[in-house]
Amino acid sequence: MIGATAVRECLGCGGLWVDVSSFEKNCADREQQSAVLGGASPAPTHSAGDVVSKVSYVPCPECSQLMNRINFARCSGVIVDICKGHGTWFDRDELSRIVEFIRAGGLEAARTKEKSQLEDARRRLEAEQLTVDSRRAGLLGSEPDDHRVNAIASAGGLLKILLG
């Protein structure tokens, strides 16, 4: 148990399996985070100079499919194994490192950066669309490339969906 959350632990390696809803709760609940940082997990064994020598993909304990390895929040430096439908496998110390990252404001910073990148992409697409519209109207004196026009329109539609 970590706080009020049941997790599965590998006694051999110290890894933890946390289901999707429990992990989301840990990310949002400071009390749950305190349990992770408290005595619920072993003392960290990592150091700044640790180097991972072998990458291996592990199967999901629920469905046995190989899980995806991702850098949590795309910038935390903590690589975790995820099965989108079932949960996340944390090697020894990874859950505490993620909680430290969240508490240091890393998750909010990552969200802010991602929003900014989406907004920049939206502005670039709008500028490109203006150029295409001007070409279509004959203001720039050159014929637009139909494939490029279609790609820009499709990307613009996708951004509208993503940004709401």
Residue-wise pLDDT for 4-54, tens only, equals 777 888 888 888 888 887 777 767 666 555 555 554 444 444 544 455 557
Residue 100 sits in the same domain as residue 47 = yes
CA proximity to 92, closest of 5, 17, 20, 21: 17
Q: Which among 104, 126, 154 is the end of a domain?
A: 104
Residue 44 sits in the same domain as residue 99 = yes
The pLDDT mean for the chain works out to 77
Domain-embedded: residue 49: yes
Residue 147 sits in the same domain as residue 92 = no
The pLDDT assigned to 13 comes to 87
Residue 100 sits in the same domain as residue 121 = no
Between the alpha carbon of residue 146 and those of residues 24, 112, 143, the distances in Å are: 44, 35, 9
Backbone angles phi, psi at 143, to 5 degrees: -80, 135
Residue 56 sits in the same domain as residue 121 = no
Domain-embedded: residue 46: yes
In the chain, the number of structural domains is 2
Residue 65 sits in the same domain as residue 138 = no
Domain that holds residue 89: 8-104
- Is pLDDT at 66 greater than 60 in this prediction? yes
Residue 128 sits in the same domain as residue 97 = no
Cα torsion angle, 91, 94, 95, 96, sign? positive
Domain-embedded: residue 2: no
Residue 23 sits in the same domain as residue 47 = yes
The pLDDT assigned to 67 comes to 95
What predicted TM-score, i.e. pTM, was given to this entire model?
A: 0.56
Domain-embedded: residue 109: no
The pLDDT assigned to 132 comes to 81
Residue 53 sits in the same domain as residue 73 = yes
- Is pLDDT at 91 greater than 60 in this prediction? yes
